[in-house]
Amino acid sequence: MPETPSGDDPLLRLQHEMQLQRQHRGLHATVHPDEILITGITVMCSQCGARRDWMVIRDRAEISIRCRCSYQWVERELTCADDQAMIDDGVGPDFPSLQAAAQAAGCDGTLAGTYLAAPGPQ
């Protein structure tokens, strides 16, 4: 049987996912200012139509996306590895609750309908 690259091996991917789950137990949230593509399709909020400026929330192995309008849904197509790839440096402030983090990120509904300035070339 021919060897496949580690990215194509389902068993190696599962092992990587399990390792990430052990390393990152509990709740983690981060902001993601850009669009999120899943299988080549841009994620869009079904409530307000937003296409970027997301809050990505990982609760154990479950990934949720939260919009600025405060609409939140579980995105079953995203994995812990996807979430890890979206984290810039993995360091940020700690918040006492998800609601406090959502408020600080502007995803509690107060900034509904607004977009932050898109990051420019560096």
pLDDT digits (tens, 9 = 90+) for 63-84: 999 998 999 999 999 888 888 7
pLDDT for res 32 = 85
Report domain extents, the chain. 26-105
pLDDT digits (tens, 9 = 90+) for 80-110: 888 877 775 555 666 778 888 888 888 888 8
SS3 sequence of the chain:
CCCCCHHHCHHHHHHHHHHHHHHCCCEEEEEECCCCEECCEECCCCCCCCCCCEEEEEECCEEEEECCCCCEEECCCCCHHHHHHHCCCCCCCCCCCHHHHHHHHCCCCCCCCCCCCCCCCC
Percentage of the chain exceeding pLDDT 90? 23
